[in-house]
Amino acid sequence: FDEQICEGTTYPFDGQQLDSTGTYMAVFTTMHGCDSLVTINLTVLDILRTDLTDSICAGESIVFDGQTLTSSDTVSFTTTSSIGCDSVVTMYLTVLPINTETIQDTICEGESYDFNGTAYTLSGTYVDTVLGTNGCDSIVTLELLVNPTVYYSYDTTICDDVTYAFGTRQLDSTGVYVDTLVSATGCDSILTVNLTVYPTYDQTFDEQICEGTTYPFDGQQLDSTGTYMAVFTTMHGCDSLVTINLTVLD
* Tens-place pLDDT, residues 7-21: 888 999 999 999 999
What are 163-184's pLDDT values in tens digits?
999 988 999 999 999 999 888 8
Q: What percent of the chain is predicted at pLDDT more than 70?
A: 100
pLDDT at 224: 95
pLDDT score for 188: 87
* Residue 133: predicted pLDDT: 78
pLDDT tier at 198 (50, 70, 90 boundaries)? very high
Would you state the pLDDT for residue 48? 85
Closest by Cα among 182, 180, 103 to 145: 103
The 10s digit of each residue's pLDDT in 207-219 is: 999 999 999 999 9
Mean pLDDT of 133-159: 91
pLDDT at 140: 93
Q: Specify the amino acid at residue 218.
A: D
User: For residue 116, what pLDDT is reported?
Assistant: 87
Percentage of the chain with pLDDT > 90?
62
Q: How confident is the model at residue 231 (pLDDT cuts 50, 70, 90)?
A: very high
Which range is most confident: 29-33, 85-89, 156-160, 186-190? 156-160
pLDDT in tens, 81-131: 777 788 888 989 999 888 889 999 999 999 999 998 899 999 999 999 888
SS (H, E, C) the chain: CEEEEECCCCEEECCEEECCCEEEEEEEECCCCCEEEEEEEEEEECCEEEEEEEEEECCCCEEECCEEECCCEEEEEEEECCCCCEEEEEEEEEEECCEEEEEEEEEECCCCEEECCEEECCCEEEEEEEECCCCCEEEEEEEEEEECCEEEEEEEEEECCCCEEECCEEECCCEEEEEEEECCCCCEEEEEEEEEEECCEEEEEEEEEECCCCEEECCEEECCCEEEEEEEECCCCCEEEEEEEEEEEC
Residue-wise pLDDT for 18-62, tens only, equals: 999 999 999 998 888 898 999 999 999 888 888 889 998 888 898
pLDDT-based confidence at residue 185 (cuts at 50, 70, 90): confident
